[in-house]
Amino acid sequence: MDLLRASLHKVRIPEPTNRIHKDECCVSFDTPRSDGGLYVDMNSFLAFGRDHVAWNFEKTENPVYLHIVQRRKPDPEEADRPLKKPTLLAIGVEGGFSEQEPEYDVTYEIVVLPEFASLPFPSVDLPEKVRLAVDKVILAESADRKQQLASWVADKKLISAHAMDLQQLDNGVIVPPNGWKCSKCDKTENLWLNLTDGMILCGRKVWDGSGGNNHAVEHYQQTKYPLAVKLGTITADLEGADVYSYPEDDSVEDPLLAQHLSHFGIDFSSLQKTEMTTAERELDHNTNFDWNRIQESGKDAEPLYGPGYTGLVNLGNSCYMASIMQVMFSTHPFISRYFEKQSLKAAFAMSQADPTLDVNMQMTKLAHGILSGKYSKPNQEGQVGIRPRMFKSVIAASHPEFSSMRQQDALDFFLHLIEKVDQANPGDHQSNPFSGFKFIVEHRVQCPSGKVSYNTHSENNLSLSIPLHEATNKEQLEAFHEKKAAMDLDGKEVSSEEIVRPRVPLEACLASFSGEDEVPDFYSTALNSKTTAIKTTGLKTFPDYLVLQMRKFVMGEGWVPKKLDVYIDVPDIIDISHMRSKGVQPGEELLPEGASSGDKVEPARPVANEDIVSHLASMGFNYVRCQKAAINTSNTGVEEAMNWLLSHMDDPDIDDPISQDPMSAESTIDEASVQTLLSFGFQEDVARMALKASGGNIERATDWVFNNPDASSSVSADSSASNVKDEDPYITDGSGRYKLMAFVSHMGTSTHCGHYVAHVLKDGRWAIFNDSKVAASVDLPKDMGYLYFFQRISS
């Protein structure tokens, strides 16, 4: 008691805004149900397992902890109680996911470090401040629980106020099923169909130069036609369609979308019924075939336990994340960076004040959780696995999709993970485990003049189209289609066992990537006109790890996304040496640089994010000031821009027009700041652009670089020059021979629904990682992969 009274100044009474962690240790996966229970720091409200709480005391000198221990109550009837299947995507409501779990006895005590002296709780002998603080911690919603509920609730869209009485013009517009292009520019992606007049226009321009040219929003500003639907998101049942309301400035639901689309010749009333029936049949086939085969259902698989065989509990459509992370922590760079060379204690010591928000800390926590074997032990249910909730929270922070409970594309998450790891290791290429995944792609374009241009950019994966015409079982396919047509006439259905799918060799997919492509509307500086050029693509470097994505998802008739029902024959070993590009060859003549008129391509200038500017302008601020605020905060967000604006209201040049001369900002750049960014490993042109965009602030400039991964390619618009340094020491290169070490498979009709599973080659045998279930593979579905991971074979 004396020790506690002497430490009362270190005890805080939590405020409603405090994040209280009491479900899981912030540096391990220990919980109140683990041996030793959980210790909640009564100053920071972070939680620690028994083996780690002393580290927190050493770092913070916070001595007072609430010790929580949960022990399961025996329930002999539990095994016979059937589980009720949820029918509603919600938690704790009728028809939703049940909150009922096995019951536990919970005990509390106050522990004072370093002696680990304990005092019972509740107790009237405890100081009032301690009693009040502990009561509030016990009654408060935990940080994990708040995050979980927020993710579920965030998905609901409101019905637009403009949907029910939407005006549609009788202008005779009939929208074709494909081949769409912006009506005001050449953009063929990020296109929006205005539901009033049928205009197809490109979306907003993004800060990094991607996206559209703002033609859709400009059209609304001119016409006030309120609703638009994004092409490529329209599915047969219309539930996944992305409808945007400009006056409401949000994604909305349009209950009459089928009617609004049919106005422009898109008949979804009949298509929906037919397609729903098709979807039901596909679901049956998936259930009976794809799902069973990919998950190896019905096989007498041996459960696997121990280091490297730890399952990841599904947090609600998180299988895409689990599959990717199981593969990543089976590669040498990730094992070395976050496990072999990084202890939990060292990661915690280097982490920020709140380790739950530190990417490196949570990556290390996940690595030790998967690779230590501590949480991979058999029990009566097979394997409990670990819940990577803190990892998902920090890796998906501020991302509208990954922070939700919706299913996501595994490739999108892989690329997002690369970005987050890059940000956590700025300029430290040796510590970045993704350095071995990066490679340089080189494009060679030859125009009819015979002259050529070379262009390079870096990639982390190869996206391969699937040439169905290269199928090796064409005779069987023809026989199957004839049989199916006859059965359709008789009103019979083909069983899943009778279906014959195309078999396409991986070599054909790789050949399609590196083969010749026509480039229409290519502007030749040799001919001073547009022409059709021939492009070939190769790899200038070969990475340590090669990731291949199979483009199984294509746009069908009526804009309905469909999944190719195809097998890919993937060998265990591939050799892509023939795909190596060799740059400019003797006798080749490069296309002249720039336009023939001598006009120089201006360097890219920072552009304010229109969403941020609009938000600030709606509050009554001057438009130019809003633009400056967005630019000077690197388009980080509305709050950051607002803070900048309020602190610069009295600047003498606050109302001056934004300079259109990129050289004016160039002259004000501090060379010392440039050198600092160069020391981080950034290119000089990128460093200068980032400093211009961030007003010379090094920290914001660093953020700008990571938020603009394409900046290195935009600083040089020279068609004949390389965008990547030929001798970048941080891009690995070597033999073109690879062995298959893992693949991620997808079940379902879209990347945004269904289920993902990973198969990984470990210890000489294939293992299947299906969320928390880990087992030896019996019938390897190697021909059904979506992402394939190859490791270079050392020469």
Question: pLDDT tens for residues 713-733?
Answer: 444 333 333 344 445 567 899
| Whole-number Å distance between alpha carbons of 459 and 464 | 13
| Whole-number Å distance between alpha carbons of 662 and 669 | 12
Q: Write out the DSSP string of 274-316.
A: HHHHHHHHHHHHIIIIIHHHHTTTTS-PPB--STT---B---S
What pLDDT was estimated at residue 698?
Answer: 64
End-to-end Cα distance, the chain: 67
What pLDDT was estimated at residue 280?
Answer: 34
Average pLDDT for 378-406: 82
Task: Give me the phi and psi of 269, to 5 degrees please.
Answer: -65, -45
Higher pLDDT, 152 or 246: 246
Residue 270 has pLDDT above 50, yes or no: no
Higher pLDDT, 17 or 55: 55
What pLDDT was estimated at residue 77?
Answer: 55
What pLDDT was estimated at residue 288?
Answer: 42
Q: Write out the DSSP string of 676-695.
A: HHHHTT--HHHHHHHHHHTT
Measured from the Cβ of residue 624, the count of other Cβ atoms closer than 10 Å reads 15
**67, 260, 755, 759: which one is catalytic?**
755
Residue 269 has pLDDT above 60, yes or no: no
Average pLDDT for 3-30: 93
Structure tokens at 257: 């979308």
Nearest Cα to 663, choosing from 600, 596, 707?
600
Task: Give me the phi and psi of 121, to 5 degrees please.
Answer: -140, 135
Question: pLDDT tens for residues 548-591?
Answer: 999 887 655 544 456 788 999 999 999 999 999 988 999 999 99
Please report how the helices 610-618 and 638-647 are oriented relative to each other, as an axis angle in degrees rounded to 10: 60
Average pLDDT for 170-187: 87
Residue 276 has pLDDT above 50, yes or no: no
Question: pLDDT tens for residues 126-139?
Answer: 999 999 999 999 99
Q: Is 106 helix (H, G, I), strand (E, B) or coil?
A: strand
| Whole-number Å distance between alpha carbons of 536 and 55 | 56
Average pLDDT for 660-681: 55
Gyration radius of the chain over CA positions? 29
| Whole-number Å distance between alpha carbons of 79 and 75 | 8
**26, 182, 202, 319: which one is catalytic?**
319
Residue 303 has pLDDT above 50, yes or no: yes
Nearest Cα to 418, choosing from 435, 402, 403, 440?
435
| Whole-number Å distance between alpha carbons of 696 and 248 | 36
Residue 78 has pLDDT above 70, yes or no: no
Longest dimension (CA), the chain: 93
Residue 737 has pLDDT above 70, yes or no: yes
Structure tokens at 457: 């950019």
| Whole-number Å distance between alpha carbons of 378 and 775 | 12
Residue 2 has pLDDT above 80, yes or no: yes
Structure tokens at 211: 């996206």
Per the rule left: phi > 0, alpha: psi between -120 and 50, beta: everything else, 695 is left
Residue 525: band (very low, low, confident or very high) from pLDDT cuts 50, 70, 90: confident
Residue 369 has pLDDT above 70, yes or no: yes
HSE value, Cβ hemisphere, 13 Å, CA-based, for 588: 15
Q: How far is CA 554 from CA 235, 749, 750, in A?
A: 12, 11, 10
Find all residues with CB under 8 Å of 501, minimum gap 6, and list them.
565, 566, 567
Average pLDDT for 248-257: 88
Residue carrying structure tokens 């130019």: 624
Q: Is 755 a catalytic residue?
A: yes
| Whole-number Å distance between alpha carbons of 584 and 588 | 7
| Whole-number Å distance between alpha carbons of 350 and 344 | 10
Q: What is the DSSP letter of 80?
A: G
What pLDDT was estimated at residue 522?
Answer: 82
What pLDDT was estimated at residue 240?
Answer: 62
AA letter at 142: S
> Alpha carbon 174 to chain centroid distance?
36
Strands 191-194 and 117-121, how do they pair?
A: unpaired
Question: pLDDT tens for residues 117-169?
Answer: 999 999 999 999 999 999 999 998 888 777 766 655 445 678 999 999 999 99
| Whole-number Å distance between alpha carbons of 348 and 48 | 11
Q: What is the DSSP letter of 201?
A: E
| Whole-number Å distance between alpha carbons of 42 and 509 | 58
Cβ burial, residue 152 (10 Å; 0-12/13-18/19+): middle
| Whole-number Å distance between alpha carbons of 693 and 262 | 45
Average pLDDT, the chain: 81
Residue 460: band (very low, low, confident or very high) from pLDDT cuts 50, 70, 90: very high
What pLDDT was estimated at residue 386?
Answer: 93
| Total-model pTM | 0.68
Burial of 73-104, coded b for 16+ CB within 10 Å and e otherwise, reads eeeeeeeeeeeeeeeeebbeeeeeeeeeeeee
Average pLDDT for 604-612: 70
Of 403-407, 448-452, 644-648, 697-701, the least confident: 697-701
Which range scores top for mean pLDDT: 409-413, 461-465, 484-488, 788-792?
788-792
Query: Cβ distance 364 to 347 under 8 Å?
Result: yes
Query: Cβ distance 467 to 509 under 8 Å?
Result: yes
Average pLDDT for 443-467: 91
Question: pLDDT tens for residues 419-443?
Answer: 999 988 887 778 899 999 999 999 9
Average pLDDT for 688-708: 67
Residue 88: band (very low, low, confident or very high) from pLDDT cuts 50, 70, 90: very low
